Each structure stands twice: as C-alpha cells, then as structure tokens.
Amino acid sequence: PTETGLKPADSRKVEEEDYRFDQLPEYRRLKRTMLQFEMTGVPNPYFSVHEGIVRDTTRIAGRELISFSSYNYLGMSGDPEVTQAVIEAVQEYGSSVSASRLVSGEKKLHRELEDGIAEWIGTDASIVMVGGHATNETTIGQIVGPGDLIIHDSLSHNSIVQGAMLSGARRRPFPHNDWQALESILAEVRASYRRILVVIEGVYSMDGDYPELPKFIEVKNRYKSWLMVDEAHSIGTMGPTGRGIAEHFGVDARGVDIWMGTLSKSFGSCGGYIAGCAELIELLKYTAPGFVFSVGLSPSNTAAALASLKTLKAHPERVQTLRSRAQLFLNEAKKRGLNTGDSHDTPVIPVITGNSLHALLLSRKMFEAGVNVQPILYPAVEESAARLRFFITSTHTEEQIRYTVEKAAEALEEIHPAYFA
C-alpha cells in the first residue's frame, strides 16, 4: 500500500509507450523525421529565428534574405501607421483586456473592428476571436453536432477538420474544388441529416488555387445547407479591392452563410473573425466556447487589424500590386519550366519538386542564394507533391521575383536535371 493507503495499480500492465513521453510512438516518429535532415546534411529548416520585421526581406543570423516564407501579404505588419495605432492602443488600454469580453473585456476598439469588417465585407455583423485556428474550431464545433453532417473540401485546413471532429457531427470530404461531387453527396444524403455545413476556402494555402464560389452557392441553396468560406488567404488578396473571393466573382457576400477569415495575414495581426447575419453573430457571441471562455482580443492585436483595414481601404492599389507580383512570379516560373501545379495569380505559389529530398535541397540552395522559402514535405502533402511554397507579398519588387525564379530554376537543374526533361 502507498502512503495514502491505496493499493498501487499493477504497473506492469501499462506499457512505457503509454506513459513516457520519450517512448510515445508519435515522439519516436518525430525523431525519425528529424533524422531525415541529419542524413541529407541539410540543417533543420524549422524554427529558424527571424530578426526584425518579415516583409519582402527577412534577417536570419545577421544575413538579409529575400523572404517568401511569411504571409504578410500587404505589408501591414511593420507598416508605420499600423505600428503607431498599436502603440496608442497599448498606451490607452494596456497590453491585455484581462477578461472575456462577455464579462469585462469589451473595448470600443473591438466594436470598431467588428463593425468595420462586417461593413467592408458586406454582412450584417462580425465577431473577432483570439486565433484563426481557434475561430474555425470553436465556430464549427458549436453550430453543428451529432445528427448533422459537415462536408468539406479534401484539402481543407487542419482547423476545419479539428472543428468538425470537435463538433461530433459526421464528416465527409469531397474531391478538391469539385462542386459537382459535392452536389452528388448532397443529393444522396440530404434527407438523412438535420443540418449540413459545407466548408470551403477562398484560396487554398498549399496550392494557391480557389473554388468556383457561385457554383457552391447554387448547390448549397438547392439542398438547404450552410456554406462556410475560410478566407484566411483570400481576404485582402482577392477581388479588385481585396474584399475577398465574393468580390472576385462579383457575388453578394450575403449569399454565403458564414465567412471566416484570419487577422494574421492581410490584417497584420493575430486572431480570426466570423462574419455573417446578425443572428449567427449574436449566437456565437453568447455561446461559442472559444469566445465566451477565452480572453478578448488584445488591444494591440485589435488596433493592428483595425489600422490595417483602414490602410487597405485607403490603399487598394496594394492588392493590385500583390496580384501583379504573383502573376509575374507565375509567368516567369512557367517560362522556365517550373511545376507550379494549378496555382493562379493568388499570393500562394507552389514549386512542386516531386519528392521531399529535392524540396529540402532546393530550399537549402535558395537559402545559399539569399532567398528564404519553406519546403513543404510529406506528410503535410503527398510525397510526390513535396514542394517549396512561395508566399508573394505586395512589398516584393519585380527584381526580387525575377531573381528568385531564376535561382530556383538553376538550383533545380543542379539537383535534378531530369526535372526539366
């Protein structure tokens, strides 16, 4: 018996891999992946320390590099006006709102940001939460449940899948961007479920392609389902003035039931939003666990997003610049025979190498040539789809883009001459 008088459990029955972190199968798997780096002689590409603000360039270990590894799409992080707004907000409100907004964390700034986002997108209302990932998880987790169905694009972001699992609803992926496949699923199962939530993204974060939004709206209307669009990578980047994928297609934002976006990319901040009809937003404000039981968005993050929104409204030409830089990258890459998959002139452009080793080596060679860009390796994508992912921003110059594509083509030629065969 122990000191408490309780009989100890028969510890022989508990395997080490079930209570020792160093023996967990997932930890051992991770260590094997790390070995991959050592074996190829390429330093671990993750968690490199960036000094200063990352825009068109970054500094790593004192070395200035052209950067394509951050989604500061419109250069809002580091923008002098945005920085000034943050300083003023912290002086006025401190560094934290120190409570859930429901209780005592509500600030005028929150209201201004939420009204501003809703008005700009063209919905009744919006709500901001402390993380983009958490926004998806808690919103999806809250509005559907057992007896309901979530149908999402097969390339959906992790936060959507996690939200679906949290909800307890059934989950069915449909083939990427295939609205006809979605329609077949709906036709087959609509009657078997209470609520059906269809989730797609405005721009897909690995491939840089986007869905035919009007078709998805038509389909979801036919089957009395909800459509949720995650605009993490499309808000501020799509449509002539950056209002996102609805503006790109010229459709009324009210045709989509739930707009989701992050504040971490075009808005130079941290957090997420949901925009939609007044009832949806009111419901989330009083019931979404990730909002109700979490601190309100910090004054600095709120002010940064608000100032970015104002700057974007005043300077829509930043969106045009971004699009033309993306177009330039794509044209140059195609001219040189690089495989950019199905990407369009969105701010995400992959260069698919065909395997993880080549992606790693290419990323290393780019680094040596003065360009920072992340490799995306298996299991984040299929092994044959391993790639470098370039995030284009409005702050990149044409010279930086031409230089980068040229270096990528040269490096690939060295690594794998058959690539261009």
Beta bridge partners of residue 50, listed in sequence order: 60
Q: Does 114 bind ligand PMP (CB under 6 A)?
A: no
Q: Nearest to residue 125, comparing CAs of 287, 309, 273?
A: 273
Asked if 389 is part of the footprint of ligand PMP (rule: CB under 6 A), the reply reads: no
Q: Shortest approach of ligand PMP to residue 156 CB, angstroms?
A: 8
Interacting residues with ligand PMP between 172 and 231 (CB under 6 A): 201, 205, 230
Angle of helix 299-314 versus helix 108-121 axis, rounded to 10: 30
Q: By CB under 6 A, what part of segment 343-372 binds ligand PMP?
A: none
**Among residues 200 and 377, whose Cβ is nearest to ligand PMP?**
200
Which secondary-structure segment (H or E) carries 167?
Answer: helix 158-167
| Among 49-57, 131-139, 278-286, 380-388, the segment contacting ligand PMP (CB under 6 A) | 131-139
Part in contact with ligand PMP (CB under 6 A); list of ranges 105-113, 127-135, 377-385, 404-412: 127-135
Report whether the peptide linkage leading into residue 379 is cis, meaning its omega lies within 30 degrees of zero: yes
Distance between CA 45 and CA 373 in Å, rounded? 9
133 contacts ligand PMP (rule: CB under 6 A): yes
Stretch that binds ligand PMP, among 129-137, 165-173, 290-298, 310-318 (CB under 6 A): 129-137
* Burial of residue 204 (number of CB atoms within 10 Å: 0-12, 13-18, 19+): buried
Of 90-98, 126-134, 143-151, 392-400: span binding ligand PMP (CB under 6 A): 126-134
Q: Does 152 bind ligand PMP (CB under 6 A)?
A: no
Tell me which stretch binds ligand PMP (CB under 6 A): 111-119, 125-133, 174-182, 208-216.
Answer: 125-133
One residue of 45, 75, 132, 375 binding ligand PMP per CB under 6 A:
132
* Cα–Cα distance, 254 to 123 (Å, whole number): 6
Name the residue among 420, 405, 406, 415 with its Cα closest to residue 362.
415
Which residues make beta-bridge pairs with 197? Answer: 150, 226
Q: At what angle do helices 80-93 and 299-314 cross, to 10 degrees?
A: 150
Least spacing, CB of residue 209 vs ligand PMP, in Å? 13
Closest CB 388 distance from ligand PMP, rounded Å: 17
Contact with ligand PMP (CB under 6 A) among 45, 75, 131, 375: 131
Q: Which of 142, 225, 237, 262 binds ligand PMP (CB under 6 A)?
A: 262
Residue 159 lies near ligand PMP (rule: CB under 6 A) = yes
Residues of 179-197 as b/e, b for ≥16 C-beta within 10 angstroms?
Answer: beebbebbeeeeeebeebb
Whole-number Å distance between alpha carbons of 421 and 417: 7
The yes or no reply on residue 340 touching ligand PMP (CB under 6 A) is no
Task: By CB under 6 A, name the one of 196, 229, 232, 338 that touches ligand PMP.
Answer: 232
The runs of H, that is alpha helices, within 1-107 are: 25-40, 80-93
Do strands 149-153 and 196-201 pair parallel, antiparallel, or not at all (unpaired)? parallel
Where do contacts with ligand PMP occur on this chain (CB under 6 A)?
131-133, 136, 157, 159, 201, 205, 230, 232, 262, 264, 272
